[in-house]
Structure formats: structure tokens, C-alpha cells
Amino acid sequence: MTTRTPNFFIVGAPKAGTTSLYHYLDQHPDIYVSPLKEPSHFSLEVRPENFEPALQPQARRDEEAVRNYLAGPLDQKRFSGIVRNYDDYLRLFAAAGDQTAIGEASVCYLWSKTAPQAIASRLPHARIIIVLRDPADRAFSQYLHNVSDGVVSSTFRDHIDASLHRTGNAFGVLHPMLEFGLYADQVQRYLDAFPRERVGIWLYEDTKRPSFLSEVLQFLQVDPTFTLDTSTRHLQPQLPRMTGLSQTLRRNGIWDKIKNLTPAPIKPFVRNLAYRKAGSVRMSAHERAFLIYYYEEDIIKLAKILNRDLSAWLR
């Protein structure tokens, strides 16, 4: 049987609900999604040799782990992993049957300058799904995610300043943290590479509408009346109360050992001790004002491209 190739891509933006969308679409009988989320195959910028030096050893270990994963049955989902080789990439879709829509989700594809044309060259009839979030909120959400992962322990404003004053463009925690939210040129690259009817663009606010998922299903040309279970939100950050200690424990592999050794009955108690309450860390008015200033010109440009009112992003 000939291996199917993907015909739709969730390309971003990061921290705009795309992981949840990936899992929701996976429930539909007429949709097949790659068991490996974020293979980043078409983003040539996202390669271990382009990462900041501190991240390269782990990135290469992850790449080796992905090669081992691809050699297996692929019967378990895996979150992220770079797949360079196209034949390896097609392995991700080998189990697809007669589903109408076959796709994957790599949120770096929106930011990537190489991905739109690379996808169009290989798969010109693909459909592109884009979800755009208020860029200030998106940046703050990514910051919270990085704190949750133990890779950032500074304040949000210090993290912004470090991103603005970094040297070089190595891929990592500081870059492209802010650049991910400069959507105008990113969206235009996809509109230049694909017919407009094959590029579905929603705002994060749109995802809250009851009709959102049926709109996406209709865009993918599958049954829009199929009910998807949306009760679970994916990749919700958990913020440690002591970020420095958390970072040290994670770096040494102790954090996961503590989680695995904690008896189930007391895990909720330990979790309350270790993590802050959801929503307890917020972006300040000054931080938001600074980011609005940073993104203002791009937001105005994007509003013209989309022909949508984005004034709420400027408040």
C-alpha cells in the first residue's frame, strides 16, 4: 500500500491552542494526525546545529531518540522531535488508512521562513491552519511555559530585556521568543505560497466560539457535525513556587524522580506545595504596554492583511 502524505498542517502560532486542536482533531474518524507532534521537518531553521550551544547536546540526544522512535511501531504519541529525512518523515503517516484529512502540527512552521515554500513545493494541495493569539499574551504564555519547564527563572520583564539584547540568532529560550509574535510577514508568506482558500486563519478569540471546531472540520472537508471531546486543555503550565530550586532539580533529573516516587494519595498535597495556583502570576500593565509598543506596527499591518479589527490587541 502506498504511504499517504499529509494534506493539512497546523503551523502555529505557538501558545495559541494548537496542541489542544491537534488532540481534538485526532478524535475524528476521517482525520489522521502524525503520532509525533511537531516533527518540524519543513523548518530548516529548527535543527540542532542552529540551537544555542547549551541546548545542542540535548537536541542531538532528542534527535537520536526520534530516530529510534521512527524505527518502532509508532503506536504511542510523542511530543516533538526533529525529523530531517523525508523518507523518515513519511513514516509518520504510514499507518494512515482511507481518512480524508492527514496532517501534522509543527508550530515553528509559521515563524519559519523556509517552511511555507518547502511545504508548497512538496505538497502544493495542502491546507494550512493558522491560529493567531494577541502577541503580548502569546509571549507571556510562552514565558510561563518556560518557567514551568524549568528553563527560565527570571522575571518576565528581565526575560523580555534579555531577548531584546541577546547576541546572535541561535534558536533557544531567548530567540525567537518575541519574534514568534510578529505575524504579518509570517502569514503573508503562506498567502503567497498557497491559494487563499487553502489557508484557514483564526484568532485565538475565535477558538472560544462553539462553532470553531466545526469550522475547522469543514475547512478540512470532513464531517463537521462529529462531536469532539474538548474537556481537556493541553500544555497548561504549572508554575513552581521556587523557580531557582525547580530549575536545579530539573537540570539534574531529580524533579522527575521525586514525582515518580511520591505516593499517589499525597500527590495533590505535594503539588499544592510545589506549584502556584493557576493565574496567580500575571503580566503587569507596564509589561503589556511595552509589548504593545513593540508589536504595534506589525499588528496594524496584520489587520490590513486579514481585513479584521485587531484593536483589542492594542489595549
pLDDT at 256 over 70: no
Look at residue 247 and tell me whether its pLDDT is greater than 70: no
Q: What is the pLDDT of residue 252?
A: 56
Task: Output the CA–CA distances (angstroms, integers) from residue 55 to 35, 154, 174, 302, in the order listed.
Answer: 24, 18, 12, 33
- CA 287/CA 183 separation, integer angstroms: 20
Return the higher-pLDDT residue of 195 and 257.
195
Residue 262 has pLDDT above 80, yes or no: no
Checking if the pLDDT of 302 tops 80, the result is yes
At 71, the pLDDT band (50, 70, 90 cuts) reads very high
Q: Using alpha carbons only, what angle is made at residue 302 by residues 203 and 164, rounded to the nearest 5 degrees? A: 95
Question: Tell me, what's the pLDDT at 255?
Answer: 56
pLDDT of residue 237: 59
51 φ/ψ angles, rounded to the nearest 5 degrees: -80, 160
C-alpha cell at 94: 504510514
pLDDT of residue 232: 79
> What percent of the chain is modeled with pLDDT above 90?
79
pLDDT > 80? residue 268: no
Which has the closest alpha carbon to 16: 255, 201, 279? 201
What is the reported pLDDT for 239? Answer: 57
Task: Calculate mean pLDDT across residues 33-46.
Answer: 97
Q: Dihedral of the CA atoms 8, 229, 38, 209 (nearest 10)?
A: 70
Query: How confident is the model at residue 236, as a pLDDT?
Result: 55
C-alpha dihedral sign at 297, 302, 308, 310: negative
Buried b (16+ CB within 10 A) or exposed e, 50-84: bbbeebbeebeeeeeebeebbeeebeeebebbbbe
The predicted structure's pLDDT at residue 153: 86
Predicted confidence at residue 126, as pLDDT, reads 98
Domain boundaries, the chain: 8-236+281-314, 243-274
Q: 194: how many CB neighbours lie within 10 A of its CB?
A: 19
What was the pLDDT predicted at 281? 83
The average confidence (pLDDT) of the chain is 90
Q: What would the grid cell of residue 296 be?
A: 504595534
**DSSP letter assigned to residue 3:** P
User: What is the dotted CATH code of the domain comprising 8-236+281-314?
Assistant: 3.40.50.300
pLDDT tens for each residue of 94-107: 999 999 999 999 99
CA angle 184, 214, 305 (to 5 degrees): 15
Helices and strands per DSSP (H, E), number in the chain: 13, 7
Q: What's the pLDDT score for residue 217?
A: 98
Q: pTM higher than 0.85 for the full model?
A: yes
**pLDDT at position 36:** 97
Interval 190-244: pLDDT, tens: 999 999 999 999 999 999 999 999 999 999 999 999 999 998 776 555 555 555 5
pLDDT tens sequence across 121-172: 999 999 999 999 999 999 999 999 998 888 888 999 999 999 999 999 999 9
pLDDT at position 21: 97
Could you say which DSSP state residue 208 is in? Answer: G
- As beta bridge partners, residue 127 has 8
Q: Give burial (CB, 10 Å; 0-12/13-18/19+) of 115.
A: buried
> What pLDDT is attached to residue 263?
77
Peptide bond into 176 cis (omega under 30): yes
pLDDT of residue 303: 98
pLDDT at 157: 97
* Cα–Cα distance measured from residue 11 to residue 217, given in angstroms and rounded to the nearest whole number: 16
- Could you tell me where the DSSP H helices lie in the chain? 18-25, 56-70, 86-91, 108-111, 115-122, 135-148, 156-164, 183-193, 212-219, 243-251, 254-261, 267-274, 285-306
Cell of 13: 502560532
